[in-house]
Each structure stands twice: as structure tokens, then as C-alpha cells.
């Protein structure tokens, strides 16, 4: 009987990994998993019961907030005149690395309320001024992040970065 219990828990664990992987790849939460809010992470419990044996697997998923999209006409008010540290993500909808970095930035925005995160689509046909701003700030390669303090550029970052590198960027 011991082999049966070990096999049960192993299968439960593997199923949980598949659910977690599916959730991360699809960036959506399966409806059957209850959520308990904690600091900057969502805690999920997956419970399996077979023949009276119970296996509970807990994992945490990072919280994310939507980052405000701006257009070029809002740039001065939202960035230059801001009394907060501002990070602008110059991106394009077709940019794969930009899409991969967006959830990382959303997570940082949830954690770092002292920083104002904004996104500017540099290839927006409805906002011709966006390409001019991209040129002005040197956003020829994307994703391109610009950190502003008191309306002035204090640092830039080019390319896809992981969370640790983005935290370093914010700390400079």
C-alpha cells in the first residue's frame, strides 16, 4: 500500500506542475484554484483527494497591476511634470521581448508604488507624436526603459531584462 500512496502523491504533484505551467503560459488563473491574497504574491492551494488520501500543494504567483498607457500629448504632464520617479516603457505591440517584459513590469509596479510606471507605444498609428518622442529619447531598440527624476532622464535600459536586473535599474 505504501507504493500506492507514493504514486498518488507523485501524480498529484505532477498534475499541480502542469496546472501551474499552464497558468503561467496563459497568464490566467484556472477557475478551480482558490486565491488567498498575500503581500505581493497570490497563494494558490491545489487539493487532491483519492480514496481518503489528501495531498495539498501550495504555490505562489506574483501579483500584477495594469500599467497606464500614455500617448505623446500626455507625456509632459505624466512624465516631465511628475513629482514621482517615473519609468517609461517605450514599446511596440509587435515586439516579442516587449510582450515578455510587460508582466515583469506589472509585477514591479505592484511592488514599487513609489515609482510611476507608464507605457508608450512608439509604433502607434493613431499617435504620430510617439515616434518623435522615441527618437528624442533614443528609443531605437526596444524594449527601451527610461527612468526620470524631477522630469530629467537619469538612466536608460535597452532590451529584455529579468526582474532582478530591473530592480537594479530602479535602485540606481
> Catalytic residue positions?
95, 98
Exposure class string for 8-23: b at 16+ Cβ within 10 A, else e:
bbeebeeebeebbeeb
What are the DSSP calls for 119-159, one per residue?
A: EEETT-TT-THHHHHHHHTT--SSSEEEEEETTEEEEEEES
The CA–CA distances, whole Å, from 123 to 36, 101, 114, 119, 139 equal: 39, 17, 28, 12, 11
Amino acid at each position: 500500500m505504501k507504493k500506492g500512496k507514493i504514486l498518488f502523491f507523485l501524480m498529484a504533484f505532477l498534475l499541480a506542475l502542469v496546472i501551474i505551467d499552464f497558468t503561467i503560459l496563459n497568464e490566467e488563473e484556472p477557475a478551480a484554484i482558490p486565491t488567498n491574497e498575500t503581500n505581493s504574491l497570490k497563494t494558490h492551494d491545489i487539493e487532491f483527494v483519492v480514496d481518503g488520501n489528501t495531498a495539498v500543494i501550495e504555490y505562489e504567483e506574483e501579483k500584477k497591476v495594469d500599467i497606464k498607457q500614455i500617448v505623446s500629448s500626455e507625456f509632459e504632464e505624466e512624465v516631465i511634470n511628475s513629482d514621482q520617479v517615473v519609468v517609461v516603457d517605450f514599446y511596440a505591440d509587435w515586439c516579442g521581448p516587449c510582450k515578455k517584459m510587460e508582466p515583469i513590469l506589472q509585477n514591479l509596479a505592484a511592488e514599487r508604488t513609489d515609482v510611476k510606471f507608464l507605457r508608450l507605444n512608439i509604433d502607434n498609428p493613431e499617435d504620430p507624436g510617439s515616434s518623435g518622442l522615441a527618437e528624442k529619447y533614443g528609443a531605437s531598440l526596444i524594449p527601451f526603459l527610461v527612468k526620470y527624476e524631477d522630469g530629467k532622464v537619469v538612466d536608460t535600459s535597452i532590451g529584455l531584462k529579468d526582474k532582478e536586473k530591473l530592480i537594479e535599474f530602479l535602485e540606481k
